[in-house]
Amino acid sequence: MHSLGGRARSSPVTQRSSIAVPRECNDASGVRPIIKLDLFLPSVQLPTPKNQIHSEESPSIPRPSGSSHWFLDFSKTPATSNGSVFHTGRMDFPPGPPARPIVGNILEVPSSGAWNLYTKLKPQYGDLVYFHGLGSKILVLNSLKAIHDLLDKRGNNYSHRPIFTTLGELMHVDQSMPLLPYGKEWREHRKLAYIALSPSAVKKYHSVQSDISALMNRDFLERPDDFFSHVRLTSGRILLTVTYGLSVDAADNEYITHAEETMELITRGSVPGAFLCDLLPFLKWLPSWTSFQKEVAQGRAMVEHLVTKPFEHVKREMAEGTAAPSLTQDLLRLEPEPSSEFEYRVRWTTGAVYGAGGESTYATVLTFILAMALHPEFQNRAQAEIDRVVGTERMPVVSHRADLPYVAAVIKETMRWHPVVPLAIARRTAEDDVYEGYFIPKGTIVVPNTEVVTLEPNDKYDPHAFLPDRFLDPTQDVVDPAVYAFGYGRRVCPGKALAENSVFLLITGLLTAFDIAPPAEGGLEARFGASLVSYPEPFKCAFCPRSEAKAELVRRRAAQCKV
C-alpha cells in the first residue's frame, strides 16, 4: 500500500535548525553517504498551513530555512531483529520494522486488513510504529493514550486528512465533510451537521426509527433467511427517511444501491495511495480518453448523483408544500432565502450523512447477530432484562436505554469484540512535531489503530472473547466503545446520537421477538472482511419467534407503522 508524503524543495540549507540535519556518519566500515530520497521520488505537494503549533504539548519546530529536505541515514538504521530506529540527526523517528535503502519498510504495510499487522507489532515497538519509503511516511498510533495525546490534545496539527488526489480532487469527495480539508469550510459543514444531529435534534426521529425497527422485525418473521438483506434495507431506510424524508420498501431500491456502490468506491479510495495517481499526481493530467480518466469521470458522476438527486427531491417537494419532515428540510429552513453557497453546504453535509451514515449501523447489527448465534447464554440474560423492564406486550423504545444496563453491556461488547472500523480514517500532520521524544515530520500520514484499543490486555477478561460482563464489573476500568467507535478528536462522527439510537432499537427489537441460534448444520465461525468498514462475512443462523405471542406482537407493531 502506498501513502502520501510532502514534496521536498531543492533549495539549499542556509540556516541552522533546532533539529539538526543528519551529517555523514563514521562507522567501522568508514564514511557512508546520506541517501536523499526526496531528490528522486515523487510525492504530493502539501499546502502550507496557516496555523503554527505553539504549546508545550505540541511545540513549533523550525525547519532549515529555504529547505524541506529530510535525510534518512541508513548507516544508523540497522535491520536487526528489533527493527529500525530512523534518525534525523539528534532526534529519532519513532521505531518501526527493519528498513532497506530507498524502499524503507513501507512495503510491509498490507493493502487490506492492516490492523492485524499493526496490532501484532505493538509488543515489539510500543505505542508508535513508523513506516517510510518511496516518498511516504506513515505513523501508526497503537494505543488510546497516543491517539488521545495527538488527535485530541493537538487537534490543530492532527485534524487534517491525507491529500487524496484521485478520490478528493478529481472525484470531488473532498467537498464532503469526512474528507473536506480541515479549516473554515470544514467548520461550516460541521456546524450544520451538529445542528441537525445533536442529541436534542434527533429526538424528533425516535418514532421514525422505532417504526422502521418494527418493519425489520416483521421482515425477519416472514423471511428469516434473508436477514442480511433486511438489515441492509433497514439501515438505508433510516438514513433516507431521516435525511430526506424518502420512503423505500426494498433493499434493491435505487437510492440504497447507489449509495452502497458509491460508498464502496469511497471506502476503497480512502486508503492512502489506493490509486496510483495519489503517489504520482501528475497522472491527473492524462488525456480524457485514458481508462484512468474514464474511471475518474464515472466516480465523479456517482458522487454528484449521491449528493444531488435526493437533495433536489426535497427542494422540489418543499416548493410544492408536500415535503416530509427531514433534516435536509430543517437545514434549508435556517435561511428563508438560502444563498447558493448555503445550499451547497447543506447539499454536501446531508450527502455525507446519507452516504456514510448507514454502514456502521448495518455492520454493528450483523456483528451482534453473529455474536448471539455463537453465545446464546448472553442473549437469554438480555431477553430476561427486557421482559422485566419493558414488559412482554410491547417493544422497547429509546427512553428505555437507561433502564437496560445488561442490554447496554451486550451492545458495548458487540462494538468492542469486533469494531466495524478497525482503523480510523487517516490523518495528516500539518507541521513537524515531537512526541515522547520522537520526531514526527510534516506530511506524515497518521493512522489510529482502533483494533488495538479494543484488545487491551486484561487479567480477568480475555480481550478476544465475547464477555459483556466486563462492562458491568466495578473492579474493571474498561474503555467505553463510544470513545473509539465514532472516530477521534475534532473529526468525531456528528451522527453518533442518531446511530446509537438506531443500534439500540434494532438490537432490542430482535432480542424481544426472537431467539437467535446457529444453523442446524453447525460450522458457524466469526469471520470478518478486511475493508475499511469490516462486516461479518456471509453466514447462516436461525431466527425463531420466542413465542406465538411475540410473533403476534411483531405483526401488530408493524401494522401501526407510519413510514
Q: Concatenated DSSP letters for 265-313?
A: HHHHHTSTTSSHHHHSGGGGGS-TTSHHHHHHHHHHHHHHHHHHHHHHH
Residue 382 and residue 399: Cα distance in Å, rounded? 17
Q: Is 493 annotated as a binding residue?
A: yes
Give the three cell numbers for residue 113.
486488513
Cβ count near 391 (within 10 Å) = 11
Cell of 399: 427512553
Grid cell, residue 11, equals 533549495
Report residue 331 as a C-alpha cell.
437545514
Three-class SS of residue 37?
helix
Give strand pairing partners of 439: 434
Q: Partners of 352 in the beta sheet?
A: none
| 347 φ/ψ angles, rounded to the nearest 5 degrees | -60, -45
* Residues sharing a CB contact under 8 Å with residue 324, sequence separation 6 or more, in sequence order: 241, 245, 246, 247, 317
CA 94, CA 439: separation in Å to the nearest integer? 7
Based on the number of CB atoms within 10 Å of its own CB, is 319 exposed (0-12), middle (13-18) or buried (19 or more)? exposed
Task: State how far the Cα of 544 lies from the Cα of 165, in Å rounded to an integer.
Answer: 50
CB within 8 Å of 43: residues ≥ 6 apart: 4, 5, 6, 7, 8, 135, 136, 279, 443
Q: What are phi and psi of 425, to 5 degrees?
A: -55, 135
**C-alpha grid cell for residue 115?**
490492523
DSSP secondary structure string for all residues of 51-94: PPP-SSSS---PPPTT-----B-GGG---BTTBEEEEETTEEEE
Which among 548, 556, 535 is positioned nearest to 232, based on CA atoms?
A: 535
Coil, helix or strand at residue 172: coil
Q: Which residues are annotated as a binding site for heme?
A: 493
Q: Which residues are annotated as a binding site?
A: 493
